[in-house]
Amino acid sequence: MLYIARRLKKITFSFFFKIKYLKRNIIFQFGSVIDNKCELEGYNSIGENSQLISCSLGRGTYVGRNSELNKIKIGRFCSFGSFITNTTGNHPTKKFVSTHPAFFSEGKAAGFTFMKETIFTELKFVNNEYLVSVGNDVWVGDHVIILDGITIGDGAIIGSGSVVTKDIEPYTINVGIPTRIISKRFSDDDIEFLLNYKWWDEDWNWIESHSLLFNNICKLRELKRPK
């Protein structure tokens, strides 16, 4: 009953946070929750029972159902599947006798601590605000776990069930526990072209009018950029 009450409270507060997005073409599926620190650029969709805390979503990005994301900055036109989470917190694995936070953190994770000050960095931020930074046009499959302090490059793909423990290079396909690169999506020349082109920064009307060219990179390469 306590869990249900807390969940209902979150959903109620979330409703008021969603009001400011009424004119940004954003779909909030049933049971989805955001907090007042989330920033959604527009044309987004948040799946059923997904929870976003202090996250930033670029234009066109969507998140599937039952995902829990905390302090993640996600670029434009990203596809996040279902049951995706990111971890928040590290424990020492060497030199320290114990991995329990009572021996390295002043925070009382278990309700107590032996430390008067924190002597081990628990959270790894990619900047002062976000634990994870995701580029543009990134596809993340279902049941993926992303550790903190991770940067995922533009155009990358992360296969279902993967655990991301290190930075992901742009336009690579990655799978496994931990993730490893199995191939690149394009030639090095094409990747350099896309990273410089940054089509996701064009206005919405331009992208829509040229969308039929996106089924073949050769077509996009032949297109002259607007002045």
What CA–CA distances, in Å, run from 34 to 13, 52, 204, 220?
A: 9, 5, 25, 36
**Given 91, 100, 143, 210, which residue is catalytic?**
91
Residue 163: partners with Cβ closer than 8 Å, 6 or more residues away: 144, 145, 147, 176, 177, 178, 179
Among 52, 5, 55, 9, residue whose Cα is nearest residue 29: 52
Is 210 among the catalytic positions?
Answer: no
- DSSP type of residue 224: P
Q: Is 202 left (phi over 0), alpha (psi -120 to 50) or beta?
A: beta
CA 93 to chain centre: 26
Catalytic residues: 91
